[in-house]
Amino acid sequence: GVKSKKLEEQATKQISDILKIDNFDIIYTSGATESNNTAIKGICEKYKNRGKRIITTNLEHSSIYGPLEYLEEQGFIIEYLKTNNGVIDLNHLKELLANNDVLLVTISSVNSETGILQPINEIGKIVKEYPKTFFHVDMTQSIGKINISFDNVDLVSFSAHKFYGIKGIGALLKRKNIIIEPLIHGGKSTTVYRSGTPALPLIVSMAKAIRLSVNSIEENLSKVEQYNNKIKKELSKYNHVHINSNENSIPHILNISVDFVKPETLQHSLEEYDIYVSTQSACSSNNAASRAVYDVTKSEVYASHSIRISLSHLTTEEEINKFLDAFEQIYIKFNNLYK
């Protein structure tokens, strides 16, 4: 028990040092979904007397919309920010905050379907002008992939498997001066904010995964950018392919639409070549048009025909070429069928 406690403390310190978050508590969770629920419900339950308004976007993960819908049933008011080319309108944010009864702003740093990166630091500076308002950021798609600042945020969610840690472990970072109501009660664990026996092997593995990803972040990013640019260049020659990700997107996520074939059909056709893409984020409702793609493109056709290509520094040039060859064969096949 003593050895285990020491190992847990060492892992926690390593995460804190690497991410430079000495002024945050690290609350270990089962993943980003639990972290998002803990942050949103925990703040709204603890500080509900401050206000009933929550500001978010149309670019969030379902683990944000789920707790927001729950809170809406409890009397909270959810307001959605306008966007320009996928990036939130900062003037609209200022307008909504001017009501003075906004309790929480919750915005993902990177959209999981389009890769759109939000100006988190600038948003945080605006929210800071309202001391009664908290700023929560879902950084699941950015930690370990790009450099991002924690300076102006209050709560941060992420999951280890997004930077090659083991599934089943994530964290909620919470500024030490903030108190939240726990989602899981039952006494102190690693903190008082999440009860349960600490998953020590997972905690230690996450610390190592963060170290490995952050230490090589620039080199990895450069490699992924090259892959992304190559795919975009090759796919742009097809008349019926629209690239939904844009200049505001990180290179790890490339969203495209092929307007004459259903995304599920394209997905299953690529599977025959052992190539795996997603039609939406893994937790999205099936058979629905992508809310995030529509917000960026304002096109029902693109939103209902989108697929997401995920790239990483472990992807190889050979795999990129294999995808492009397979895509060409599938495109020609379906183009001839639907002429």
For the chain, give the number of residues.
339
Concerning whether 283 is annotated as a catalytic residue, the answer is yes
What's the token pair of residue 184? 């899981």
Contact yes or no for 289/304 (Cβ under 8 A): yes
Alpha-carbon distance of 77 to 194, in angstroms, equals 27
Alpha-carbon distance of 180 to 331, in angstroms, equals 51
Please report how the helices 217-235 and 317-337 are oriented relative to each other, as an axis angle in degrees rounded to 10.
30
DSSP for 9-24, written as a single string:
HHHHHHHHHHHT-TTE
pLDDT value, residue 338 = 67
Contact yes or no for 267/221 (Cβ under 8 A): no
Alpha-carbon distance of 168 to 249, in angstroms, equals 27
Contact yes or no for 32/140 (Cβ under 8 A): yes
Of 82, 84, 52, nearest to 68 by C-alpha is 52
Residues 6+ apart with CB under 8 A from 218: none
Q: 102 by DSSP, 3-state: which?
A: strand
Evaluate if pTM is beyond 0.85: yes
pLDDT value, residue 293 = 95
pLDDT value, residue 287 = 56
pLDDT value, residue 78 = 98
The amino acid sitting at 307 is: I
Alpha-carbon distance of 262 to 307, in angstroms, equals 10
Residues 6+ apart with CB under 8 A from 163: 143, 144, 145, 209, 210, 212, 213
Of 125, 317, 143, nearest to 229 by C-alpha is 317
The amino acid sitting at 77 is: I
**What is the pLDDT tens value at each position of the chain, 339 positions in all?**
999 999 999 999 999 999 999 999 999 999 999 999 999 999 999 999 999 999 999 999 999 999 999 999 999 999 999 999 999 999 999 999 998 899 999 999 999 999 999 999 999 999 999 999 999 999 999 999 999 999 999 999 999 999 999 999 999 999 999 999 999 999 888 999 999 999 999 999 999 999 999 999 999 999 999 999 999 999 999 999 999 999 999 999 999 999 999 999 999 999 999 999 999 754 555 557 899 999 999 999 999 999 999 999 999 999 999 999 999 999 999 988 765
Q: 168 by DSSP, 3-state: which?
A: coil
Find the largest Cα–Cα distance for the chain: 70
CA atoms within 13 A on the CB side of 305: 17
Active-site annotation holder among 283, 288, 314, 332? 283
Q: 97 by DSSP, 3-state: which?
A: helix
pLDDT value, residue 99 = 81
Contact yes or no for 99/89 (Cβ under 8 A): no
Contact yes or no for 293/243 (Cβ under 8 A): no
Q: Is 251 left (phi over 0), alpha (psi -120 to 50) or beta?
A: alpha
Q: 56 by DSSP, 3-state: which?
A: strand
Alpha-carbon distance of 187 to 102, in angstroms, equals 31
Alpha-carbon distance of 299 to 97, in angstroms, equals 29
